[in-house]
Amino acid sequence: MSFLSKTGEIFGGLIFSLSLGFLIVFIALANFTQYNNLQPIMTNLIVNQFRQNLTQTQIDFLYSDLTDQCKSSATANVPLGNNNSASLKCEDVKNSNSTDIPNLIAKNLFDQIYYKKYDCSFLNCIKDLSFQKGTVETNQKFQIVLTAKANEFFTKNQIFLIGGMFLGIALIIVSVRVWYNILKNVGFTLLFVGITYLLIPLMKSSFIGQVTGMDLSAVVDALFKPIIMLLRISLILGIIFTATGYIASYLLKPPEKKKS
C-alpha cells in the first residue's frame, strides 16, 4: 500500500470515528433536550428540591397567599430569591390545592429556563462556563444545556456529522479499494467507538459530580439511555463487519504460489 493510500485510510478512519462518536452524543442530547422528554424530569427534580426546603405548613401558607393574590389579579407571583420569581395563572391556582403548588411552580420555572433568551450563541455560552464546582453561578450557567437553544443546536448539527461519516467512509473506500478490507476498517472503527460502552459507569459518576446538592440520577439515566443503545448498536455492527471482512479475506485470498 502506498503512502498516500495509507494516509487516506488513517484519516478516513479518524474522521469516521470522530463523526460517529459526536453524532451519538448529539442524537442523545437532542432527544434529551426535547421539551416533552425534559420537562417531566426537571419538574420532578425541582419539586423534590422545593419540598426539601419547605415544610408542608410553609407550602399551605404560600397557597393561602397565592389565593389572596388571585382575588384581584389574573396571575400570582412567587418570589424565589436571587431576583427570581414564578408567575402562576390564577386559573391554575384556583383549580388546585396546596399539594399541587410545588408542581405548578416547578413547571413555571422549567419553562423560564427552557425558553430563556441568551445574548450569545450556544457554543459561545458554553465557552464562557466556569467549572467551579458547587457554585450557584456555575449551576445557572449550565442551565443553557437544558434549553430550546441547546435542542436546536444538537438537532441541526447532526447533518454535518453524518456528512463527516460519509466523508470518512469515502476516504477509506478510495484508499483501501478491496471490499472486505473496507469492511474490516469500518468494523474496527465501529468497535473502537462502541467499546466506550464499557466506560459509561465512569461517565455517569463524573457527570453527577459536576453539580452538587441535587440527586441527578434520573437526569443522568435519561441522558445516557440513548447513548448506551447507540453504542451497543455500534459495537454489534463492528463485530459483524469485522468478522465478515476477515472471513471474506480468508476465503477469497488467492493461494500462494509454491516455490519450485
pTM value > 0.85: no
- Beta-sheet strands, E only, within the chain: 75-81, 84-89
Span 31-43, pLDDT tens digits:
999 999 999 998 9
Q: Please report whether residue 141 resides in a domain.
A: no
Q: Does residue 119 lie within any of the structural domains?
A: no
pLDDT at 143: 81
Residue 257 lies in a domain: no
Q: Is residue 59 part of a domain?
A: no
Total count of domains within the chain: 1
Residue 2 pLDDT exceeds 80: no
Pairwise CA distance, residues 42 & 125, whole Å: 21
pLDDT of residue 238: 94
Instruction: Tell me which residue range forms the domain holding 164.
Output: 1-33+158-246
pLDDT tens digits, one per residue of 204-238: 777 665 555 556 777 888 888 899 999 999 999 99
The pLDDT of residue 157 is above 90: yes
CA trace torsion 112, 223, 25, 106 (10° rounding): 0
Residue 177 has pLDDT above 80, yes or no: yes
